[in-house]
A and B are shown apart, each in its own frame.
Chain A
Amino acid sequence: MRRIALVEDNPDNRLLVTAILEDSYEIDEYENGRYALDGIRSNPPDLILLDISLPEMDGTEVLERIREDDDLKSIPTIALTAHAMTGDREKYLSMGFDEYLTKPIVDETVLFNTIHHFLD
């Protein structure tokens, strides 16, 4: 089973995303950026779902560290965020995210299709 790292500080968001994906993917949950970087480095996943607004180190900084690391830089990384203002999509894609999805997740097929695009 392919493995996805879910980096998200809100426990309800982690529960919901895991409930949607757990029958199809193995999910590694991380509640902040530092834990995520440690876990991703020691056990690289096939894809990363990365929240932007995280404590201590936000999602954009986590992404920078991932892209600086030769072993991790090619892992597809999707911004999963409640930042949904006009222009946010372009902003986050220009920062190096491979895709951008907004919360709340109103249609889980969008999440599945996006993941399929990178993994299948």
Chain B
Amino acid sequence: MRLNTNVLEKLQDIGGQNLVSKMFDLFEQNVRTRLTVIEEGIHTRDVQQTVRGFHSIKSSAGNIGAEDLMELASAGEENAADWAQSELKTHFVKTKNEFKEVVKILNRKREGLTQ
């Protein structure tokens, strides 16, 4: 799990703790929604829906410096475009697990923000 602290410092510089906190919240909400969308997309073999879901996670992960999650989502986007079904399912699980790890770190960061 890599979280690029330079990115978080940059967010802090731009908008202070308030922006960092809002970015964490929106990241979590968006990625949770997109994971559900991807799962449905894989189930129904909807290429566009699945590609867009991974693409959105890649973008959100980049905003908070979650670099491993960004890389996984990027690879998932490519797998979805090629529709490599078995790899795609594996990628989805890895992405979901990485997201859980990122959320744990963000929760610790949030505690720091409120102290």
List residues of A whose CB falls within 8 A of some B CB.
Answer: 9-13, 15-16, 19-20, 53, 55, 82-83, 103-104, 106, 108
Question: In the assembled complex, which residues on chain A have CB atoms less than 8 Å from the CB atom of B59?
Answer: 10, 12-13, 82, 103-104
Give bound CA distance, A20 to B19, whole Å.
11
Given the known interface contacts A19-B19, A53-B55, the answer about A11 and B30 at a Cβ–Cβ threshold of 8 Å is: yes
A106 and B19 contacting across the interface, CB-CB below 8 Å: no
A16 and B63 contacting across the interface, CB-CB below 8 Å: yes
**Cross-interface CB contact of B62 among A83, A103, A108, cutoff 8 Å:** A103
B56 close to chain A: CB less than 8 A: yes
Give bound CA distance, A6 to B19, whole Å.
18
Give bound CA distance, A13 to B56, whole Å.
10
**Cross-interface CB contact of B14 among A9, A19, A82, A103, cutoff 8 Å:** A19
Give bound CA distance, A108 to B110, whole Å.
24
**Cross-interface CB contact of A15 among B7, B10, B23, B52, cutoff 8 Å:** B23
Question: In the assembled complex, which residues on chain A have CB atoms less than 8 Å from the CB atom of B109?
Answer: none
Count of chain B residues near A, Cβ 8 A: 21
**Cross-interface CB contact of B30 among A12, A53, A103, A104, cutoff 8 Å:** A12
B104 close to chain A: CB less than 8 A: no
B22 close to chain A: CB less than 8 A: yes
26 sample A-B contacts, Cβ–Cβ < 8 Å, listed by A number = A9-B56, A10-B30, A10-B56, A11-B26, A12-B23, A12-B27, A12-B30, A12-B63, A13-B59, A13-B60, A13-B63, A16-B14, A16-B19, A16-B63, A19-B14, A19-B19, A20-B14, A53-B52, A53-B55, A53-B56, A55-B52, A82-B58, A82-B59, A104-B59, A106-B7, A106-B10
Q: How far is the CB of B33 from the nearest CB of chain A, in Å? A: 10
